[in-house]
Structure 1
Amino acid sequence: MLDIILDEFHFSTLWNGGIFLFAMFAAIIYFFLLPASQKHSWWKSFAFIAGLIVIFIAIASPLNVTGRIKFSTHSLQLVLVLLVAPPLLIFGFKTKIVERVKSIGSMKKVVSVLTKPIVASAIFQVVFYSYHIPFIFNFARLDLYLNYFFLLALFLSAVLLWFPILSSNQLTSGQKWKYSFANIILLTPFSLILFFANTGLYAIYSDINLFMSALALCLPDLTEVPPEFFASLLPFDPVHEQWLGSLYFFVGIIISFTIVNFLSSKRT
């Protein structure tokens, strides 16, 4: 069913060329402009590029359009953007430039405060739960730039969230596991609310008028699309989608924190 629906969209609608150019620009800066230390291995470069690819798949591929049709796909986007891409990018980033930035007195203090485990976790939880308050979520999804602003804020806060785990000099191995467990506990209510909800929490996925307005942001010319087409895009039960999305997200946080902690422990 979904394959038939996506066939109705233009190639430029399904694939975001702007995000692709941004990812290519980031790769060029990474390889040709950022200085690398002698300890920088090809594995780190591979991880960084993999992180860029994950971001592209999450917000610039057909997955992004599908995420406006199905809430469960939105949950998959969250897993990719917040739980998969940030650890890859942090692990693969060239630390020499970070050391230069931290050598600036004021920047060192700012980075030191923002990457403290309690601060980093608090910032992420506030941004994450604020975005998913139903009226904020519905409103943000109706504005292309506002939605990207929230996604950027979520991504940057996720980078802060993962930094204490991937940093080699902030926490001991045991402290990293405790930090991860605490964040899993803090994120679990989101999954539980979705899992036990007996009604659709986000009108953007059930109200035909809001749905049309949100999806129109992905369409180059709304006037050429008949209303019947939008009605055909709503065969997905919002309650079931929330239930499925809660499972995707909960499994995602368990797997991502476990794998990153395990690999981080091996490094130390």
Structure 2
Amino acid sequence: MFGLQYFNFQEVWSPMFLFATIGIIIGYLYLVGPWREKHFPQEAPVSLGRKLLFITAAVLYYLAYEGPLALLGHIMFSFHMTNMALSYLIVPPMVLAAVPGFIWKKAFSASFWGKFKFLMHPIVTLILFNMMFSVYHIPVVHDYVMTNFAIHRLYYLVMLVAAFMMWWHVNTPIKEIPHMSHVKRMAYIFANGVLLTPACALIIFSNEPLYAIYNDPQVWVNAMGFCIPGDTSYLLTQFGGPQFFNTFTTLEDQQAGGIVMKLIQEVTYGVLLAFVFREWFTREHKQEAVDEQLMRDAMAIKQK
């Protein structure tokens, strides 16, 4: 499918990362199960839904970063953008919703974390993630990161941390710390969508291929070393270049990638906006009902 049949099991599924993902899932189930019962017995059990949410997030990240989708992302730009959307727009809010607050509090209980508190200001997190995402998609930066594997892993890791920092303000898992109001959270989500738009527009409306990885066979071969161990020069002889796997032209694939990213972003942000709005609307109406009841009680007391 999409050319995966030309690669072996190790190249498609990255067994070491698969085992690491399974290990992370087992670790999570231990923390919310036996570990919670031993160290936080007062905390409510984590629901099956939240457990499934975490497992789904872990599997999606594995598929996008080292699994089949990652290999396809080095062949087709549309898959690359799908992976970016999964890794930074979908997985972080899922994890924040799935991991209970007592684990986050334990993880950040050390006093030295206070030195980095300024980095969690909403404006800082908003700019940091969107700047990293946009800079990454400048063609020269993208090609450099994709062909230098140590930089590749470091940049992706920092961008993942920045994504969690950004989403933290939308879905803060610790109830005891200050939260942004619902109205501010809606504005925050909207601002994220606005800041992400220029990078997507650059990709969608370009009149020429921007990224050498998907256009220059030699650069593509170098980038494929991230997914395929050993000498990748045989790919030139066997396939000629990434165009072998693609039914679209390089430009069409690039434009499709930008559209996919924008659509996933719009749907994700739209769902979260609707969720936050519903919370705000429900809270306001509950407060109105309480106020009305207090007024009726006061009137009744006054009439007596």
State if a TM-score over 0.5 links the two structures. Answer: yes
2:86 paired residue number = 80
Q: Is the 8 A contact 2:215 2:242 kept in 1?
A: no
Higher relative contact order (CA 8 A, sep 6+): 1
Residue of structure 2 equivalent to 1:135: 140
Q: Which runs of 5+ in 2 are unaligned?
A: 37-42, 281-304
Secondary structure of the structure 2 residue equivalent to 1:141 = helix
> How do 1:181-260 and structure 2 match up within 5 A?
181-222=190-231, 225=234, 227-231=236-240, 233-235=242-244, 236=246, 237-260=249-272
Please tell me the root mean square deviation across aligned C-alpha atoms, in Å. 2.2
Instruction: Give how far 1:230 is off.
Output: 3.2
Cα offset for 1:17?
1.3
Which ranges in structure 1 are unaligned for 5 or more consecutive residues? none
CA contact (8 A) 2:74 2:223 kept: yes
Q: Among 159, 164, 170, which residue is 2:179 paired with?
A: 170
Q: Cα distance, 1:103 vs. partner?
A: 4.1
The alignment status of 1:146 with 2:151, answered yes or no, reads yes
% identical equivalent positions: 23
State the partner residue of 1:46.
52
How far off is 1:87 after superposition? 0.7
Aligned-partner Cα distance in 1 for 2:235–2:51: 46
2:198 counterpart letter in structure 1:
P
- TM-score w.r.t. the length of structure 1 is 0.90
Q: Distance in 1 between matches of 2:241 and 2:187?
A: 47
Larger Rg: 2
2: CA distance, partners of 1:226 / 1:53: 28
Could you say if the C-alpha distance between residues 12 and 195 of structure 1 is closer, same or farther in structure 2, counting changes exceeding 3 Å? same
The whole-number CA distance in structure 2 between the counterparts of 1:187 and 1:217 is 27
SS in 1 for 2:124: helix
Q: What is the Cα deviation at residue 260 of structure 1? A: 2.3
| Deviation by residue 1:81-116 (Cα, 9 ceiling, x = unmatched) | 011111110111121122234444332452x43332
Among 19, 25, 33, the residue aligned to 1:21: 19
Contact preservation (8 Å) 1:204, 1:211: yes
- Once the two structures are TM-superposed, the CA of residue 201 in structure 1 deviates from its matched residue by 0.9
For residues 109 and 47 of structure 1, the distance between their equivalents in structure 2, rounded to whole angstroms, comes to 32
Q: Tell me how far 1:55 sits from its aligned partner.
A: 0.3
Q: Which residue in 1 is equivalent to 2:297?
A: none
Deviations 1:43-94 (A, max 9, x none): 2222111110110121222211111111111010011001111111011112
